[in-house]
């Protein structure tokens, strides 16, 4: 559910942060940020740290290193 919220937020707030490619299978998810292989704004810390979930508006949550 949280992943869908993040994707929905990216589509409505910042179109340049849209995720490309297919979602990895559950067995292929890396440690750290699970969208690191699909993020166009990739940074090395994605492999080490999972971003914290933050409230960015009244009804919106986001888990991204860039926010």
CA angle 20, 23, 26 (to 5 degrees): 155
Closest CA to 36 of 49, 46, 48, 25: 46
Mean pLDDT of 15-41: 64
Note the pLDDT of residue 27: 66
pTM over 0.75: no
pLDDT per position as a tens digit, 45-65? 777 888 888 998 888 888 887
- The neighbouring-strand residues paired with 60 are 57
> Per-domain residue ranges for the chain?
1-62
**Tokens in use for 26?**
């559950």
pLDDT per position as a tens digit, 3-17? 565 555 555 555 555
């Amino acid at each position: 559910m949280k992943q869908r919220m993040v994707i929905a937020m990216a589509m409505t707030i910042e179109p340049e942060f849209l995720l490309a490619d297919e979602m990895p299978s559950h067995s292929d998810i890396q440690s750290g940020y699970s969208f690191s292989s699909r993020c166009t704004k990739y940074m090395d810390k994605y492999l080490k740290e999972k971003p914290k979930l933050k409230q960015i508006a009244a009804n919106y949550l986001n888990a991204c290193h860039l926010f």
